[in-house]
Amino acid sequence: MMKTLLARISQGHRTTRYPDGPAPALPPRFRGLPSIDAARCPTGCRDCADVCPTEAISFAGGKPAIDLGRCLFCPECEAACPEKAISFTGDHRLAVRTRDALHLEGAALPLAKALDEKLLSLFGRSLKLRQVSAGGCNACEADVNVLSTIGWDLGRFGIQVVASPRHADGLLITGPVTKNMELALRKTWDAVPPPKIVLAVGACAISGGPYHDRPEQLGGAAAVVPVDLFIPGCPPHPLTILDGLLRLLGRLEDEGRVPSR
C-alpha cells in the first residue's frame, strides 16, 4: 500500500489544467479547422472536390466550400490542390449549434453559443448524458470515453456519462444512425425526461460520414431527434469534444478560459 501511495505522489498532477491553463499541445499530425484561401483558387479546378471521399467540398461561384459535417479531416483535398487553397490548421475548436453553421466558405466558424438561460440554470453545473452508439465504428465512442480518464477528468466540470436515459439530461449520439438503431434511438430519446438536449458527435452522427450515400443508414442523429450541438471530426479529438461541451454550458469564453462562477 505504501509503495502504491509513494508511486502516486511521485507521478504528480496528471489531469490537464485546461481550460484554466493553455490547451494541451497537439501533435503536428493533428488536423483541425480547415483554412480556405479563395484567392489561391482562381480557376476552380475542382481537383479537391473530385478526391473528397464524402463529397464534402462544393463550389459556389467558382470558390471552394467545405461541409465540416461531412468532412473526415483526411488530407486528400489538401494534397490534391495544386495551388494549396485548402489546408488544415491546428485549431481544435469546431463545435457549432446549427447544421448550417458547418458550411465553411472561408469566413470564421461561428463557434457554439451557450444554451438559453433556463437550460443553463438546469444543466450549467450538472449535466448527465446517455451515450448512444447508433452504428458507429467505436472511434468517436473511444474519444468520448477518454474524457472520463484521469488526463481529462470530465467529472470536474459536473459532466457525467450515465447508464440509464432516465437518469440523463440528454443524449450524446455517435454513429450514422442505422435503420436497425432508429427505434432504439427513439425509445432512448423518449425515456429522457424533459427538458433535454442532444449532442451529435462525429461526422457519422452529423451527416452519415463515409456512409452518407448508403441506404442502410439515416444520415445522422438529426433525422431522428432534434440536435443542439454538432461536433465534427472523424473522430473529433477529446479536446474538441470538451471545447464544445464547455461552450454549450457557457463555461468557456473565446480566449479559452472558464468564467468564474
Taking only the tens place, the pLDDT of each residue in 64-116 is: 999 999 999 999 999 999 889 999 999 999 999 999 999 998 778 999 999 99
Q: What is the pLDDT of residue 254?
A: 66
Whole-angstrom Cα distance, residue 258 to residue 250?
Answer: 8
- Whether residues 121 and 244 share a domain: the answer is yes
Is residue 26 domain-resident? no
- The Cα–Cα gap between 109 and 101 comes to 7
- Whether residue 128 sits in one domain with residue 75: no
- 190 & 80 share domain: no
Question: What pTM does this model have?
Answer: 0.92
Residue 100 covered by a domain: no
**Does residue 70 form part of some domain?**
yes
Residue 215: inside a domain, yes or no?
yes
What confidence tens digit (pLDDT) does each residue in 102-155 have?
A: 999 877 899 999 999 999 999 999 999 999 999 999 999 999 999 999 899 999
Q: Is the pLDDT of residue 220 over 70?
A: yes
Residue 65 sits in a domain whose CATH number is 3.30.70.20
C-alpha cell at 148: 472520463
Task: Evaluate whether 93 touches 242 at the Cβ level (below 8 Å).
Answer: no
Alpha helices in the chain (DSSP H): 2-11, 47-51, 76-80, 117-123, 139-146, 179-191, 203-207, 238-248
- Residue 50's domain spans which residues? 34-91
Residue 101 lies in a domain: no
Q: Are residues 87 and 179 in the same domain?
A: no
Average pLDDT, the chain: 92
- CATH code: domain of residue 196: 3.40.50.12280
Residue 133 maps to a domain: yes
- First-to-last CA distance in the chain? 38
Please report whether residue 198 resides in a domain. Answer: yes
- Give the count of domains, the chain: 2
46 and 151 in a single domain? The answer is no
Taking alpha carbons only, the member of 78, 83, 89, 80 closest to residue 41 is 83
Domain match, 243 and 180 both? yes
Could you tell me if 69 and 144 lie in one domain? no
